[in-house]
Each structure stands twice: as structure tokens, then as C-alpha cells.
Structure 1
Amino acid sequence: MEIYLTQAFCYLFINVIVRSLSYHAVSYIMDKDLSEGAMAMLPISIFGFRALWSPWFLLLIVVGIAFYFLLTMKWRHHFKDTEPVTPKQISFFLMGMILLYAVKGSPVDLLGHILFAVHMVQMAFLLLVIAPFIILGLPNWIWKKIFDVTILNKILGVLTKPLVALVVFSFMFSLYHYPLILDNVKLSPVLHTIFTVTLFIAALFFWWPITNSLNGQPKIVGLKKIGYVILSALLITPACALIIFVDVPVYETYSSGEAWLQAMALCVPANTLNSLAGLNISGPELFINTPTVYDQQLGGIIMKVFQEIVYVVVIGTEFLRWHKDEQKNADEITRKDLLERQKMYTHGL
């Protein structure tokens, strides 16, 4: 079933791309016939350096990385039962933090408020790549300290159970991308922060059972892991399908000029927006040359295809691990069999 769904989404992806390219071609021909006074597409650079590069968020990322190295190296000896951080863990953490800035602090974040497809790229990396990287990047002793906190112990014990984590993550993702919810979230900085952080934490819960190596914690391997990721793909499919198959724009903050301008306040300073008032910016159509509905459909397809790719990697890795274990067991069985034969041969002599 999953294979057929993937084929269907790939077909839709190609269809949207073809339609989008056709639209670009028509638009180009029409633009050639317009008068020289026609308004050209505006560059996103008009929003300024702060909106494009989020220097305060970059500072937060740098502080987070510095704290990580201090905690795992210099301050580690102040805690009991610790072990040195490994190069592999450092690599995962650094990649996670760099990607976090790339999707939430670089111009990609600004584009995510203009193009819904870019927003879904952000979500894909945040939930399907950065979350597991952060889990794999923190040493087990840090996770143990977190789980040993009395207040968190019982809560995390429930929310990291595979079935609970799967349902919570799928529900939060679907809820967040329900049009009414997303539009309201993007109009409120407080709601936007709460929902984004909550969704990311839900992603950590989802990835925990299949990435953690902490003793005493729920961990699924083998066929259970494969079934876990396949079920996750199926549970998220309705939300993606809603976005893909609808033939009208469903998000006001990506289609309505007034709502879009309010949403832009999430990443553009108020004084910058006020200074642009004279440009008569009416909506995202001044920055892109693609119909909103195509952008919306492409966003849903990107999320679904990206999810499929990540899950195929997870399943493939699990198959390789299983094959490697089987080979080890086979070699061990062969070795024992040879020893037995040698003993029999020796006694026979």
C-alpha cells in the first residue's frame, strides 16, 4: 500500500511541476507584452539583514553549541556516572544545530513565510532530521540526568512509549497543519513559538524509541521498528493528502494579502514592515511567480516524499544491521560447528 501511495504522490509531484512550468512559460510570454511600467517581482532583500539572517537566533545557536561543549567536556567531571562524548555524537549535534539555524534562522525561514513549499521543507528537516540528530548527539549520561528528574520521569516515561509517541506526533503534525490552526498560529508570535516547540518535542518523543541507546528505555528494533515507521507514514498521509488534493488555497496567511502581512511580522521587524508600506505590498505573489494552489500542493508533496526518503533510510539501516547480526551469528555457529567436528575427529583418532 505504501508503494502505491508513493507512486501516486510522485505522479502528483510531476504533475504539479509540469503545470507550474507551464504557468511560468505563459507568465513569461505575457510579461513580454506588458508595458515597461509594469511592476517586477520584488527581491526578499527588501526585508533587511535582520529578517534574512536572524542574528539573535544565530547567537542562541552559538551559545547552545558552546554550552554543549562545556557540559560534555569541561563540566562533565562535576557529574556522576558520565562518559566522554564521542566524535560521532559531536558530529550529530553540530549537524543538528547547523541545520536548525539553516531552516529557522537563515533566509529559508523568511521564504517559509512566503512559500508554503519552503515551510514544508522547514518542517521536514526540523521533525525528521534535526530531532533524531539531537537525540543521537547528546551522550547517554545527559539523557539519564533528564529522565532522573522526578517531575519529568513519569511524564517522559509515558510520552516516550512507542505507541503514545507515534500517536502524539502524528496528531500534533496534523493539528498544526489544519488550515484554521496554522493561520491563527502564524498570526501570533506566542502561539507560533508554543506550537513549534511542542511539535519539535513531539518529534523527539517519536524518534526516541528507535534512536536512543539508554539502558532501561523503550527501544524497538527489527520488524517492530519497520512497522513503527510505516505506521507513522500512514498516519501522516491524510494531512498531506488534504494539502495536495484540494484545488483551492486553504491557508489565508499564504493567499490573503492582509493575513500574509500580519504573518510576516513573525520574522520581519515592525519598523521594517512600516518602512515598506509605500511599496503597496499586497501579498506573496509579488515575490513568487507561481499560483498559490500549486505552491500549496508542492508543499504537501515535498513533506510526503521527504518523509518517505527518511523512512526508507531508517528501514534500510535496520535491514543492514539485521543482516550484519545474522552474519555474525552465522560465523559463530560455523565456528562452533568446526570446533565440535575437530573434537569428534580427535576423539575418533
Structure 2
Amino acid sequence: MRRLPCLLLALPSVAWAHGGETHHLNAHDVLRWWTWDPLVMGMLAVSGVLYVRGLRALWRHAAPGKGVRGWEAGMFALGWLTLGVALLSPLDRLSDILFSAHMTQHELLMLVAAPLLVLGRPHVTALWALPEASRAPVAQAFQGPRTRAVWRGVTGPFVVLVLHAVARWVWHVPALFEAALENDAVHAVQHLCFFGTAALFWWALLRGRYGKAGYGVGVLFVFATAAHTSILGALLTFARSVWYPLYARRAVEWGLGALEDQQLAGLIMWVPSGALFLAMGLALFAAWLGESERRADIATGESAAPRETVP
């Protein structure tokens, strides 16, 4: 832990030892490490085009701000950009060398991109992006009893809590994590599990079947998730040995301390992520109180209203 400040200071300009030579790589060089993965770029392009197309069709049919409000569209745009930063920026290549960078990438996917995209109501714009003749049949298909039953089961608060927790903990098992580092297909599955379970988690809390009345449930599950992720972060931070030997070998090549890098990764999962969970939990708690007050006002108004008497 005492050498963590040295690692932080080394990140802007790190040394690469290879073949007996030491090559210095400064922050300017690292900023050129954009990956431009065709698959990721294609998925981002398609999702962005479909969202814009659906939003334009919806607002043209109703009115700007109807169905999807302006701030919700803004949330989707921020989430979309966050995905690009996490998967295409130099952070992606740096994550192959530093565990702390890899942890930052994962937290961006789960704690920033996923809730922002859910707030953007992509399911609404996706329906409006379809040809006009297809919208009603597709909507009816998704409103069918079997489809709704499956969706309600998958997005139940307890179910998504467990799914997301399992994804977080299982993928940090050393054998699986290192398999993701060595195999691009496994790495893609890892990212999909992290992002997919996080999206379901935030969907259940923000758009789930309990609606605004479920904000109280959301507070409980947000703090439960914050608790178990903080435990995992603390285990990484205070571990006396490196969990992932592959990172240890790569860190040595770059003149960095693998244990300190792991401790920094644990702190990222523990402190900044915990602060984000706390902020989201407090926001849900405030929304829960506001909804409770609104319901109380409605109930009070109904009880105070004079009732007509039948002569």
C-alpha cells in the first residue's frame, strides 16, 4: 500500500523493458492507443442510428419530449459515449497491461453506461425505429402473456441482484479472469456478462414492474450490491499476494508493481464505485420519499373531498 503513490505517479510516463532495452512511453503515446475494433464500432453505430431514428419518428408522431423526454435522450447519449470510451479508447489497450485500468473499464460498463442507457428508454425508441407496419405486431408479441412472464421473472429485483453478484464474483476467480485476458472471445463474454447483468439490475430498479413504488426496494438492493462489491474490493486491496499472475508478468515488463496495481484496482472497486452506489441509493431514496408524499397528498385530497349524497 505504501508504494501506491509511486504507481500513480508512474502511470503518465511508464517504462517498457523488452529485449534488454528500456523504452519510455509517455502519456501522449498512450493517448494514441485507440483500438477501433470493427465489431464494437459496428454495434455502437447500429445502436446509435436506431435510437436516433426511433426518437425522430416518435417525436414526429407525437411531439418533441413525448414518450422519451429530452433529458432521457441525453442520458442515452452519455451512456453511448461511455461505452465508446470503455471499449475503444486507450483504456481498452491499457487494461491488458494494468489490472487497475481493467477495473476502471468494468466499472464504467456497469456503473455508468448501464444505468444511463436504461434511463434513455431504448426499448421505446427501438420500437419506433421499426417500419410503421411492423410496430404493432412486434409490440403485441412482446405484450404476450408468456413473454411478459419470462421478462418479469428475469427482471425481478432479487433475481437481478443475484445474477449481477454472481457475475461480479465468478469472473474475478483467477482462472476465469486470466482466461479472459488471454482469449478475446472469453473477454467479450466477460464484458457481456458484466454489462448485461448490470443493465438488468438497473432496469429492475428504474423501470421495473414496481414502478415508482419500487424505489424503496431499489434503495435496499443498491446498498446490498454496494456492500458485496466493497467486500470484493477490500479483499483485492488488502491481499498480500497477486491474484492474477499474468498481470504480474506484464507489470514487470512495464516496470510497475503488480501488487500495488492490484491494490489500486481494489480501491477503484471499493471507494469510487462505492461512492457512486451511495449517490444512486440516495437518489432512489429521495425519489421514494417524493413518491410517498405524492401518494399521501392524493389520499388526503380524496378523503377530504365531499361525497355526493343520494336523496
TM normalised by structure 2 equals: 0.75
Say which structure, 1 or 2, has more relative contact order (CA 8 Å, 6+ apart): 1
Q: Using the alignment, how far apart are the partners of 1:190 and 1:296 within structure 2?
A: 24
Give secondary structure in 2 for the equivalent of 1:226.
helix
Aligned to 1:11: none
For residue 106 of structure 1, the aligned residue among 89, 93, 101 is: 89
Distance in 1, matches of 2:29 and 2:86, equals 20
Partner of 1:227: 220
Q: Which ranges in structure 1 are unaligned for 5 or more consecutive residues?
A: 1-15, 32-36, 257-282, 341-349
Check the 8 A contact 1:73/1:84 in 2, yes or no. no
- SS of the residue 1:52 aligns to: coil
Tell me, what secondary structure is at the counterpart of 2:96?
coil
Deviations 1:179-217 (A, max 9, x none): 11100122111111122112211111111121116xxx2
1:236 aligned partner: 229
Matched, 1:185 2:165: no
Greater Cα offset, 193-202 or 51-60: 51-60
Shift in CA distance, 65/225, structure 1 to aligned 2, threshold 3 Å: same
* Residue 261 of structure 2: aligned partner: 295
Q: How far 1:308 moved relative to its partner?
A: 1.5
Task: Name the counterpart of 2:4.
Answer: 20
Q: What are structure 2's unaligned runs of at least 5 residues?
A: 128-137, 307-311
Higher CA-based Rg: 1
Give, in angstroms, the shift of residue 172 of structure 1: 0.7
1:21 Cα offset (Å): 2.9
Of 149, 155, 160, the residue aligned with 2:155 is: 160
Distance 1:150 1:193 in 2: 33
The 2-side partners of 1:77 and 1:339 are apart by 40
Give the conservation status (yes or no) of the 8 Å contact 1:45–1:52.
no
Contact 1:162 1:209 in 2 (8 A): yes
Percentage identity across paired residues of the two chains: 22
CA separation of 1:137/1:182 partners in 2, compared to 1, >3 Å: closer, same or farther?
same
- Conserved? CA contact 2:30–2:90, under 8 Å: no
By how many angstroms is 1:58 displaced? 3.6
User: 2-side partners of 1:127 and 1:227: how far apart?
Assistant: 18
The Cα shift of 1:52 comes to 2.3
Whichever residue aligns with residue 20 of structure 1, its letter is L
Secondary structure at the counterpart of residue 39 of structure 1: strand
Paired with 2:201 and 2:284, the residues of 1 have a C-alpha distance of: 17
Structure 2 CA distance for aligned equivalents of residues 125 and 165 of structure 1:
19
Q: CA deviation at 1:245?
A: 2.0
2:68 is paired with a residue whose SS is coil
Report the alpha carbon displacement of residue 150 of structure 1 after superposing the two structures with TM: 7.9
**2:73 aligned with 1:90, yes or no?**
yes
Q: Which residue of 1 aligns with 2:199?
A: 204
Question: Is 1:134 the equivalent of 2:101?
Answer: no
Q: Does 1:319 align with 2:285?
A: yes
SS at match of 1:248: coil
How far 1:107 moved relative to its partner?
0.4
Matched, 1:54 2:21: no
Q: Distance in 2 between matches of 1:246 and 1:309?
A: 22
Cα distance between partner residues in 1 of 2:189 and 2:144: 23
Q: How many residues align?
A: 280
How far did residue 45 of structure 1 move?
A: 7.7
CA contact (8 A) 1:41 1:286 kept: no
Residue 40 of structure 1 deviates from its aligned partner by 4.2
Does the CA contact (< 8 Å) of 1:53 and 1:107 recur in 2? yes
TM-score, L = length of structure 1: 0.67
- SS of match in other structure, 1:250: coil
8 Å Cα contact 2:109-2:194 kept in structure 1: no
